[in-house]
Amino acid sequence: GDTHRRRIRSMADTEHRFKYVFIPADESIPVEEREGIGVGSAGGDILVDLLRPHFVGGGSLELATESGSTETFALVHPASTNGYRGVYLYTDECGKLKSLPENPRALELAQRCGIDVRHPFHGDAFVGAVKTSPPPMRNVSFTEHELDPGAPWMLIAPAENAVYAETFREFMSAVEGKATREELEHRRESVTEETEGRRSRRTSEGEEIPPHGLRLRDGVEAYHASLAATVGASCVRVENSCAAGGVGVIANKGVERGEVIWSEAPLVSIQSPANVDEALCCGWCHRAVGDIDAYLSLACGAIDGDAARGNG
């Protein structure tokens, strides 16, 4: 009926198509430009899930890898100098464990970007792009022609990656200089004690005061209403949901599956200094990165975090 047609039209309005490139491990097979389709207004890199079926099974780990797992490798990070457009390589996270063949074209591409790749990529690879500004993050087109060594993004990639690596080193040095692991633990305990103390505060009438200092009946609803209005989340409200004073998030209208009702960028987002030498994570989204060789070398102490990232 009309409702069904409106729903289809609404989905079509938010549908976006983008190009990405397939680089087979077998060099006798040419690269291929493909098309992805994103539906809805939710942000994020959908290629991670879109490509997962391609990496299902294989080798001697058929059962362990039956769901597929996509590994992302940044060829260039989003930055103001490139219009906040990042380019990423997508590979099989378990490619080496499956004994898949090396992908020389993927390795060459990473090296052209000025990246010191210490281990080869195994199995088929894909190249795609995302744009992070204006938010939310979303996939944008990356075409076969952009694999050309003279492509504008590739010409500036080595310099941008050098700046990114240096900036990351300086940032981590500053963080580590201000707080050792013991200091961070002490701060965490202090904050916990302070928070518990605030939770136990009560008014002279015996009414408990929340940690933010607002009384449930005369401030919380207005406070959260202002937050919702700031980010344009008009489809929800926060109010007292029971006689005991509990606060709940209530929908003002029907919410479709997959619909984004609240989206905001974090003020600060960094990997914890306590595990920066123990886990390799993307500096932008904090997703785990790196191949099995790097993690084994890190685990046995053969290299440290900086060396594993190519910053040593």
Burial class (CB in 10 A: 0-12, 13-18, 19+), 71: buried
Which two three-digit tokens encode residue 303? 């290299």
Residue of higher predicted confidence among 30 and 116: 30
Percent of the chain with pLDDT over 90: 35
Task: Find which of 7-11, 160-164, 173-177 is predicted with most confidence, using mean pLDDT.
Answer: 160-164
Alpha helices in 43-123, H assignment, sequence order = 47-50, 104-112
- Is 80 exceeded by the pLDDT of residue 91? yes
**Residue 115: per-residue pLDDT:** 92
Give me the residue label for tokens 């961070």: 184
Q: What is the mean pLDDT of residues 158-165?
A: 90
**Residue 227: per-residue pLDDT:** 64
Alpha helices in 77-210, H assignment, sequence order = 104-112, 152-178, 181-199
Read off the amino acid at residue 46: I
Q: Where are the domains of the chain?
A: 2-170, 180-213, 214-251
- Is 80 exceeded by the pLDDT of residue 263? no
Instruction: Compute the mean pLDDT over every residue in the chain, rounded to the nearest whole number.
Output: 76
In order of 93, 115, 149, 196, 311, the CA distances from 288 in angstroms are 10, 18, 28, 33, 17
**Residue 211: per-residue pLDDT:** 47
Structure letter (DSSP) for residue 33 = E
Ramachandran region, residue 92 (left: φ > 0; alpha: ψ -120 to 50; beta: rest): beta
| Phi, psi dihedrals of residue 237, rounded to the nearest 5° | -140, 160
Buried residues in 202-239 as b, exposed as e (16+ CB within 10 A)? eeeeeeeebeeeeebeeebbeebeeebeeeebeeeebe
Q: What is the CA radius of gyration of the chain?
A: 24
Q: What is the mean pLDDT of residues 180-202?
A: 53
Model's pTM, two decimal places?
Answer: 0.59
In order of 40, 113, 115, 160, 283, the CA distances from 80 in angstroms are 26, 18, 20, 10, 16
- Is 50 exceeded by the pLDDT of residue 213? no
Q: What is the mean pLDDT of residues 142-164?
A: 94
In order of 201, 229, 234, the CA distances from 224 in angstroms are 21, 9, 11
Do 55 and 65 contact (CB within 8 A), yes or no?
yes
Give which of 257, 225, 280 is closest to 72, Cα–Cα: 280
Read off the amino acid at residue 283: G
Alpha helices in 207-291, H assignment, sequence order = 221-230
**Residue 186: per-residue pLDDT:** 62
Q: How many CB atoms lie within 10 A of CB 197?
A: 10
pLDDT digits (tens, 9 = 90+) for 54-77: 998 765 555 445 667 899 999 999
